[in-house]
Amino acid sequence: MAVAAGLSPRHEAGRLRITEIFHSLQGESRTVGMPTVFIRLTGCPLRCQYCDTEYAFSGGEWMPLEDICNSVATYQPTYVTVTGGEPLAQPSCLTLLTKLCDADYEVSLETSGAMDISQVDPRVVKVMDLKTPASGEVDKNRYENMQHLQAKDQAKFVICDLADYEWAKACLVEHDLAQRCEILFSPSHGQLKPALLAEWILQDCLPVRFQLQLHKYLWGDEPGH
């Protein structure tokens, strides 16, 4: 059982360590621009070099699942996203996802390709980030996760340079990813010019969705957005 750094398994049942719960516009994925409640869980076993949520590696506040759901309900949302850190590093995340689905929200999970997604409630839209070589964590990818992706899910690649792009292209072919789910290619903010990635995608006629991080252009790296 994977447990986020600083978290004790005996404290996991029925509650989660939460960095923040906030209401914002979805900055990525298929519902970009839609008002969404974000539940950011604390802790992550990865250390990607471009990470913009290092503040979620530690700290946070233990909250019962009922209190988390009550906090979400105050915003009366349609869309709820569970993110991190790495949310699946806390086992009770699976229970939270099911409770949110039972409450009739449109629920998505932002997770790395490093954690087992096989037990995630099938009603949840999984946005799985496959780590590229330049991330520094490519060796953490669990490629067996591919078989658990559904048509409504999304596989995301954060591209830092041309070598990352070529690796991601090869990954699409090797795992027949475009036939499994939607593919997202995103330039690493501040590391790769967005127009350059767009040109590569158009040149190669890739069956992928180009995306920018909308929240970065609205609020920069300010937490809570």
What pLDDT does residue 29 have? 87
- Give 214 or 216, the one with higher predicted confidence: 214
4 within a domain of the structure (yes/no): no
**Sorting pLDDT into bands at 50, 70 and 90, what band is 219?**
low
Please check the confidence at residue 5 and state whether its pLDDT lies above 90: no
224 within a domain of the structure (yes/no): no
Is there a contact between 217 and 76 (Cβ–Cβ < 8 Å)? no
223 within a domain of the structure (yes/no): no
What pLDDT does residue 41 have? 98
- Give 220 or 141, the one with higher predicted confidence: 141
225 within a domain of the structure (yes/no): no
The count of structural domains within the chain is: 1
Q: What is the DSSP string of the chain?
A: ----TT--GGG-TTEEEEEEEEEEE--SSTTTTSEEEEEEES--S---TT-S-GGGSS--EEEEHHHHHHHHHTT--SEEEEESS-GGGSTTHHHHHHHHHHTT-EEEEEEETTS--TTS-TTSEEEEEEPPGGGT-GGG--GGGGGG--TT-EEEEEE-SHHHHHHHHHHHHHTTGGGTSEEEEEEPTTTS-HHHHHHHHHHHT-S-EE---HHHHHHTT-TT-
The residue range of the domain holding 137 is 9-218
CATH code: domain of residue 30: 3.20.20.70
What pLDDT does residue 6 have? 45
Phi, psi (degrees; rounded to nearest 5) at 32 = -50, 135
- Give 213 or 131, the one with higher predicted confidence: 131
100 within a domain of the structure (yes/no): yes
Average pLDDT of the chain is 92
Strand order across the beta sheet in which 125-130 lies: 61-64, 15-25, 35-41, 79-83, 106-112, 125-130, 154-159, 182-187, 209-210
63 within a domain of the structure (yes/no): yes
2 within a domain of the structure (yes/no): no
Assessment of whether the complete model's pTM goes beyond 0.85: yes
